[in-house]
Structure 1
């Protein structure tokens, strides 16, 4: 244990690079999570609304949108990240750095979160939707005041799972120059044969995942009034 502590406190890469890499991971995950929430939540509601038993059923639109979402979900993330490099350069101006990583991270997880939202709102009791319709509520109001409100604990749990997936994906994009803990682990740990840097990066990632899970579970429990 003493040797490990000495190695941790004297390793220059850990001292100089680990704090910066951790901040980069938090930045790319945080911004990507915001984009996923802003785009994925309405997309999930739209998927549910267009279904055959939804508020505004449309078989053709539902099939097309479902196909696009399923196709993006089916792509392995690392392949998607490489495939959208031209798009990333067009949006950000570069394919390197944590800012560039936001593009593939968002594209890779928006469909995932949208499906979780769709599943969450599908479980809302149909009677509550019908009651809102009888009272003259509009479709947007039913979506927000009934479906989202009733499914909020499940949506929060789904968003927690999505953020954890983003943390894992952020480590993958480190392999293509995105920065963060993944880049630190691969470049300074694996490629330079420094197991201390490698395993320390992994430990920090595990800590981040644990914190996100604990916070997400606490928020979901607080919102669940059943």
Structure 2
């Protein structure tokens, strides 16, 4: 039996994907999750052959969710599903350890092809997005590993540091005390092996991390 986990906060898309996949796989166990904690719980509770992962569902905040899952479950293949078809995003997720990038506009037959390709251990990206996907140096993986050690709150603080926000502004955005912001910043510096904001900005920029905005498009 093939076990897939669809991690996406849009129930209509999960239902559509279930309908598409069940027509192409006879023996399919399709699990669902709507946020990052539920995704982690499902991966802990089941042997999953492939995770289909939305970068921007609750708790994920762009690249954080992907690298977090990759660190906790390195043996589970991951394909990113996204409503955004951008070569820069494709490069970023592939370099962060994803084995595929599946736009939400992908036809059912192509999704099945992608699933089979990735389960076989190969990378699948739509032909229209293959040209221009760039590999990065080994430093990317090392930085991603460090960022994966951050908590969701610490990750958000890192993104806000990259955007140039002051401690008071970060506290306002996260609805936490300025002292708590300072504690998060200290933890971020320690986990990333850095000692100032400039270095934090450089890391966030190199990984092309997106700010944790609730309004980010899916």
Question: TM-score range, shorter-chain basis?
Answer: under 0.3
Query: Higher Cα Rg: structure 1 or 2?
Result: 1
Q: TM-score, normalization: structure 2?
A: 0.24
Higher relative contact order (CA 8 A, sep 6+): 1
Determine which structure has the larger helix proportion and give its number.
Answer: 1
The TM-score, its normalising length taken from structure 1, stands at 0.23
Structure number with higher strand proportion: 2
